[in-house]
Structure 1
Amino acid sequence: MSHFYPTAEYAEEQPLARTILATHVASRGFQLGTALGLISGTIESVFRRRAITIPLLLRSAGAGSIIGAGIATVGMIGRMWGREGIEWADRSWRLRYNTGQLAIDNWSEPGAVMGALAVALRRPSAATLGGWRGVVGGAGIGSLVGLIGCISFTEAFQHKSK
């Protein structure tokens, strides 16, 4: 997200404020839904005494990520309903100038792309890994790996510089 949208010098002038905020909220919901999908898929397998397989985890992550993004987006609409344009612009502008948020975006977006490609380009086919839910799950897991990588890199770099 961080490289695709323009940035204004002042919050009042932030273009595409609603799009920036909606994209941010949907992507964080996507990540949270992926994590919850992985947890629920694992718990379900344990209680049903079935093997925890990669296709099961990918399908669970994919379904969770779609549900998470949807719930987060509906929540954002509910929270921002009736708000002035300046409130949208201010929130979006703060997201664009938050260095931590930009770092998370810079790590999780490539991770999502690599995760989706890893599942989609797998031989013999992505259908054996859960179809479209598997590809979306791969994107979600890749996004989470990027998030964890960002946090780990930041922590290691900060401790090293002290």
Structure 2
Amino acid sequence: MFGTLWRDLSVIRMSRFWPHTAYEEDQPYGKSILWAHILTRVPPTAAVLGATTAVGGLTLRKLKILAPKALPSSFTTTLLRSIGVSTVYTTGVVAIATALKMHGREEIEWQERSWRLLENKGQVECDDFMYGGMALGLLGGVGKKLPWQVRLGGLGAGSLMGVMTYMGWRYGVKNGKREEDESV
């Protein structure tokens, strides 16, 4: 049932919005595709870093190693705020690292990397789950007065949940096999 539903929804997959050619040297939008890919990896990465920071900070406050905050927030608010702030810092670091790594590269190198991303079925499928998680993470704060850090944290937490759901789906439910693997 879900496999059929997932195939039917394949026309709206985010990675499918980019044109994908038969040959890497013909791949258009190489830089845009690579930048979009890299920057959409920031929220789940920042979610792990931010959650670690939040839990570490709360633990150190409980152990009286750090001074308590004047106005303690709920755990959820603290966690999402930490993820949101981590997303901002991680975006900066990743953008600088990518610019340094790709500086002076030929257009074909951008095209080749982008083409490989779009060719990788696992990557495209992971993107689908991650984008869905991002949307749900953002929807969680609709209609509430929340600081931007918490809203951004919701996006990051949702993206991480999307990636984790993909891992469970692909490697748990499907045992790592794809439909085309089963037909052989």
Fold-level match, TM-score > 0.5?
yes
Aligned to 2:55: 42
Give matches, 1:18-37, under 5 Å.
18-37=31-50
- Greater Rg over alpha carbons, structure: 2
- Contact 1:29-1:71 within 8 A present in 2 as well: no
* Partner Cα separation in structure 1 for residue 129 and residue 115 of structure 2: 20
Shift of 1:31: 1.5
| Contiguous gaps of at least 5 residues in structure 2 | 1-13, 63-67
Corresponding residue pairs, total? 156
Which of the residues 164, 173, 176 maps onto 1:157? Answer: 173
Aligned to 2:149: 133
Question: What TM-score do you get using the length of structure 2 for normalisation?
Answer: 0.79
Structure with more helix by fraction: 1
Aligned to 1:145: 161
Question: What TM-score do you get using the length of structure 1 for normalisation?
Answer: 0.89
* Partner Cα separation in structure 2 for residue 78 and residue 147 of structure 1: 27
Q: Which 4+ runs in 1 deviate beyond 4 A?
A: none
Residue 94 to residue 160, structure 1, CA distance change in 2 (3 Å): closer
Residue 112 to residue 148, structure 1, CA distance change in 2 (3 Å): same
Shift of 1:106: 0.4
- Contact 1:29-1:70 within 8 A present in 2 as well: no
* Partner Cα separation in structure 2 for residue 18 and residue 114 of structure 1: 28
Q: What amino acid does structure 1 have at the position aligned with 2:129?
A: W
Q: Which sits farther off after the overlay, 145-154 or 60-69?
A: 60-69
Alignment partner of 1:64 is 2:86: yes
Aligned to 1:107: 129
Deviation per CA, 1:104-135, whole angstroms, max 9, x where unpaired?
100000110110111233xxx232xxx11111
- Contact 1:126-1:135 within 8 A present in 2 as well: no
